[in-house]
Amino acid sequence: MLLSALTALFMALGYTLGGSGGAVIALLVAAGMNLFTFWNADRIVLSMHHAREVDATSAPEFYNLVAELAQRAKLPMPRVYLIDEPHPNAFATGRDPQHAAVAATTGLLSMLSRDEVAGVMAHELGHVRNRDTLIMTMVATIAGAISMLANFGLFFRGGHNENGHSNMVATLLAVIVAPFAAMIVQMAISRTREYGADAAGAEISGNPRALASALAKISGRAEMIPNPVAERNPAAAQLYIVPVHVSELFSTHPATEKRIAALEDLAQDMGAPVITQRASALSPAPAPVTPLKRKSSALDPLRRDRG
C-alpha cells in the first residue's frame, strides 16, 4: 500500500508539471524503473559497493555461518559477499529468496563476536524471508525519481506556465511538497521492515541479545567511520542494518535504542540466556593457502579465543 502511494505521488507530480500527459509519462517511467530494478537490483547494489563473492574456500568461517543460518531459516543458500571497508555494516539484496545475496564489511566481521555476527546475518536473512529486499530498492528508486522530476520541474515548467502566477505557485508547491512526502513514505516503509527483520533475525539465530549487542556496538562506530558509498548515494543508507550520518528524525531506521529494547523484550519472552562471555570475532581474511593438517567439517564450530 505504501509503495502504491509512492507511485501515485510520482504520477501526481507528473500531472502537475505536465497535465494528463505528464501523469501517463510518469506512470510509464515508474513502471519501467520498477521492472528494471526487479531484474537488476542485486547487481546494481553489489557493484556499487565493490563487493566480492566468497565461498567455503575463500572465507570458510563467514560462509559456513551464513549456510547454517539459511538452513535454520529454511531458505535457499544465498550468495555471500564481502566488502573490503572498515565501516561496520551489512545488507541483503535480490528480487526473491531464490536470487538473494547477503553482504558484510570486513570492518563488521573484525569488530563483532561470532554470536553477534550470527545475529546480524540472521537479521539480513530475515529481510530475505520477509521479501523486503525488492521493496527496499524499488522505494529508493521511485523516491529518487520524484526528487529528480521535481528538480527538473523548476526549470522546464516554471518558464512556460500558461495560467500565469497561480500555475507557478502550484508548481512550486508540488516541487517542494512531493519530495518531502516521498521521504515520509520511504521512512514509514523502512522503519517497519527493520522491526520485522529484527524479530525474524532473533528467531533464526535463537539469540535476540546477541543481535542487540551487535546493534549497540556498530551503531556508534557506523556514524564515526566514513562510508564512501552512502556519501555518494544517500539512498543506499536504507539498505544497511544501522543508519549512517543522519539524525533520528530523518533516518530510514528506528532509533537503535528502541530496537534494542524491543529485542530485550523478545529475549525475555523466548527465555534467551544472558550473554556472559565473548566469542572470538570471525576473521575477514581469505583462507590460508597452505592446507590444514586436520580434517574439518563445513559446519565445525568457529575458533574461539584461548582461555
User: Which residues are identified as catalytic?
Assistant: 124
Dist. CA 49–CA 237, nearest whole Å: 12
Angle at 87 between CA 202 and CA 235, to 5 degrees: 80
Parallel, antiparallel or unpaired: strands 101-105 and 79-83: parallel
Measured CA distances, 238 to 80, 86, 107, 145 (Å): 20, 19, 19, 16
Alpha-carbon dihedral sign for residues 202, 205, 209, 211:
negative
Beta strand segments in the chain, E:
52-54, 79-83, 90-93, 101-105
Cell of 203: 528467531
Alpha-carbon dihedral sign for residues 290, 291, 293, 297:
positive
